[in-house]
Amino acid sequence: MPATTDTTGLRAERLSQLRAVMARHQVDAFIVPSADPHLSEYLPGRWKGREWLSGFTGSVGTFIATQDFAGVWTDGRYYTQAEQELAGTGIRLMKIPSGASLLHIDWLAETMQPGQTVAVDARVLGLAVARLLEDALKARDIKLRTDLDLLDEIWRERPGLPADAVYEHEAPYATMTRADKLHATRNAMAKLGAERHFISTLDDIAYLFNLRGADVSYNPVFVAHALVEPARATVFVADGKVPAALRERLEQDGVRVAPYEQARDALQALPAGSSLLIDPRRITAGMRAAVPQGVRVVEAINPTTFAKSRKLPAEADHVRDAMEQDGAALCEFFAWLEPLLADPQRAPLTEVMIDEQITAARARRPGFVSPSFGTIAGFNANGAIMHYRATPENHATITGDGLLLIDSGGQYLGGTTDITRVVPVGVPTAAQKRDFTLVLKGMINLSVARFPRGTRGPMLDALARAPIWAAGIDYGHGTGHGVGYFMNVHEGPQVISPTAMPEPHTAMEPGMITSNEPGIYRPGKWGIRIENLVLAQVADTTEFGEFLGFETLTLCPIDTRCIDMSLMRGDEVAWLNDYHRSVRARLLPLVDGAARDWLEQRTREI
């Protein structure tokens, strides 16, 4: 919905204040990326500057203001949402086509004049992006300043650092000790020729030290930096966040705790002649600038990024258990939902109620900690908004015929879940059933794939799109993202997407958990996405080498009422029936009453 008059006026006032301080500092353009000093996807309140200025709440976007222009660059997942949230503000939506995530840099180079100044806070600017920005502006004789945080001058009620306590991820769920992880990391550092390693990404730090927190919504991580040295490691975290008993256990493992603000000082104090490993895609330009000239810098992907992506067999077992609990919770939820949808005399049912009920069902399950992201419950046209979020102020009532898309997930001590299902409301049309079936065929096609070990994830994307492309249809997001182990619901290095570069670090390896989620979206009408999580594992070994396949981890029926059987091949029907037999066998011991009845009904063979 368009911005209200009140919020529109507030944004205009903030933009006016920003332009005033820009003029005072002789800045012609100011960039506010969607980032924090850790380059997180989901941001603590202190670093939600782009949202504070523009009102756009999507997780991806870059805000740029000049004296006569303001715009937000974002991709196809957020076009509809951004149009609604920016309406009436005078802030333009700048659409990023697939594979052009740095289009704002080109815009700056083309728009700004020689001698003008562009500013951005280096503390929230990724090093790899900073280099591209600097090169593009330098070629046009445009000055780049990275020493200014203009938000601090106008955001008077800016939040401070999060204060939630850090806690330990303990056995049996932590299946590898902190000491062993540090030993493995130092071995990887040695192979790269580095004595020290600086880490800023929050999930890497949480993984390495077997720690968790609550500083970022939905992700059990905490705001910190870390420095791994030959004989010790240091975690830089705000005072008071690490309880005394935990601090003692860390000390026993050679890990000291230091104040958050000392991280930059630690880099500046590195001795000349020493060597430091950094990941240019996972560190800010501000932190890189703190490294003394005499330190030899080794640039490579963080070893922990690889390590945490390849789940150990014991971790995979815990994930399977978490999937069973999650599936049982969904049975209870759908057993509550479907009778209401079928009752013409029922009280109004809203998208907001979906979020409330699905979270409550998960909360009754052992090991549940929190949702893994904000539930997407979109009815009809709202389902076509890929990252839609119903709010008390902006939501739809579920009434009449149509499709309800529900994308949700949970954080459990033994794993992270992410699942999308589509439910018919009333009688689905032939066109809706056709779209649903095409998406199902794409999901099955990737589920049964076999491919050589080391195949780059982006190369697998076409397998899911093939049945959809054959019908002259496409969708504007990647097919799969990595998923953490009681960690971020989005993690690398693997990705299944046509816009990602098929670089060596994107290779699919055994133990990786990835989403499988093709879709079809018809703006103003409906959206369909079917999503399971899959585990890569060795499927065969031949004279041509190892071949991988996927084990489907997610356990929840796929609604067969939406299927156009005339489009399904026999092998696809067999896959779906086999999947439903497995779902029924795994979940029946965990449910009873209405949930059990619903499970048995929705897993009947077709």
Residues 257 and 174 in one domain: yes
In a domain, 48, yes or no: yes
17-25 CB contacts, 8 Å cutoff, 24+ apart? 17/154, 18/53, 18/65, 18/150, 18/154, 19/65, 19/67, 21/150, 21/153, 21/154, 22/65, 22/67, 22/119, 22/150, 23/67, 25/119, 25/148, 25/150
Residues of the chain with pLDDT under 70: 1-6, 98-101
Residues 116 and 244 in one domain: no
Residues 114 and 184 in one domain: no
Can you give the residue range of the structural domain that contains 122?
5-154
Separation of alpha carbons 361 and 215, rounded Å:
24
- Per DSSP, the three-state class of 140 is coil
Phi and psi at residue 451, in whole multiples of 5°? -155, 155
Look up the CATH number of the domain holding residue 95: 3.40.350.10
The per-residue pLDDT for range 346-359, each reduced to its tens digit, is 778 999 999 999 99
Check residue 98 and give its pLDDT.
63
Domain end position, chosen among 308, 342, 364:
308
User: Side chain identity at 40, as an amino acid letter?
Assistant: S
Check residue 1 and give its pLDDT.
39
Residues 127 and 181 in one domain: no
Residues 275 and 397 in one domain: no
- Per DSSP, the three-state class of 84 is helix
- Provide the number of structural domains found in the chain: 3
Residues 392 and 536 in one domain: yes
How many alpha carbons lie under 13 Å from residue 390 in its C-beta half-sphere?
A: 28
Percent composition of the chain: helix, strand, coil (DSSP 3-state, to 5): 40, 25, 40
Residue owning tokens 């949202």: 51
Residues 39 and 69 in one domain: yes
Nearest to 41 by CA among 315, 387, 383, 311: 387
Separation of alpha carbons 287 and 123, rounded Å:
7
Residues 281 and 293 in one domain: yes
In a domain, 159, yes or no: no
Look up the CATH number of the domain holding residue 345: 3.90.230.10
In a domain, 214, yes or no: yes
In a domain, 160, yes or no: no
Domain end position, chosen among 283, 308, 333:
308
In a domain, 588, yes or no: yes
Note the helical H segments in 139-262: 151-154, 178-191, 202-208, 244-252
Domain end position, chosen among 270, 293, 308:
308
User: Side chain identity at 35, as an amino acid letter?
Assistant: A
Residues 136 and 172 in one domain: no
Residues 37 and 134 in one domain: yes
In a domain, 161, yes or no: no
CA distances from 215 to 11, 149, 282, 397, 508 (A): 26, 22, 19, 33, 30
Residues 451 and 510 in one domain: yes
In a domain, 352, yes or no: yes
Residues 11 and 109 in one domain: yes
In a domain, 576, yes or no: yes
